[in-house]
Amino acid sequence: MTAAEFGEVRSRLIRDFAADQVRAGAWAAADAEDRAASQTDGLLPQGVRTPGMLLLTAQAADGTRIGHVWIALQHPDAGQDAWIYDIEIAPEQRGRGYGRALLAAAEREAVRHGARGMGLNVFGPNAVARGLYESAGYEITTMQLRKELAREELTGEGGPWGA
């Protein structure tokens, strides 16, 4: 990935990560983009030249940019495993096998750099991505669940909180 490509990708990363966190109920919308920018910039302080990180661009045979992947060669919590922070195929290019090909390329690069395994996080509602990862041999290692509670459920008569 070039520095110019990174500038475009960084903007999307921040916007999409913030939106995902808000949808998941983890962050408030008011400060989500600031938090996403802070985390992204903390992990990539030197952009594409950040040591221990690989940022790769995927191209179709005709040279059209179709996606990217961001890999940490060693995740702080994963030992010898690499970690995919982000992988994305342009919406108009999805469904053509590019995601599977990019995932396989990311795995090859991680192995080439000494990784023994690869981890990633996927938001629960993203069934398409979950299907891809599971069909590529990824297994669930942890799972978080969440339920949005209506105020009535918390204060209803007969419940532990009373009315």
Question: What pLDDT digit, counting tens, does each position of 24-55 carry?
Answer: 889 999 999 999 999 999 999 999 999 999 99
Kindly tell me the burial class for residue 84, based on how many C-beta atoms sit within 10 Å of its own C-beta (0-12, 13-18, 19 or more). buried
Residues 6+ apart with CB under 8 A from 1: 9, 48, 55, 56, 57, 68
pTM attached to this predicted model: 0.84
Question: What pLDDT digit, counting tens, does each position of 78-123 carry?
Answer: 667 899 999 999 999 999 999 999 999 999 999 999 999 999 999 8
CATH topology of domain 52-145: Aminopeptidase (3.40.630)
**Domain positions in the chain:** 1-49, 52-145
Q: Which stretch of DSSP H or E encloses residue 107? A: helix 98-112
Instruction: Work out the widest C-alpha separation in the chain, in whole angstroms.
Output: 65
Kindly tell me the burial class for residue 30, based on how many C-beta atoms sit within 10 Å of its own C-beta (0-12, 13-18, 19 or more). exposed
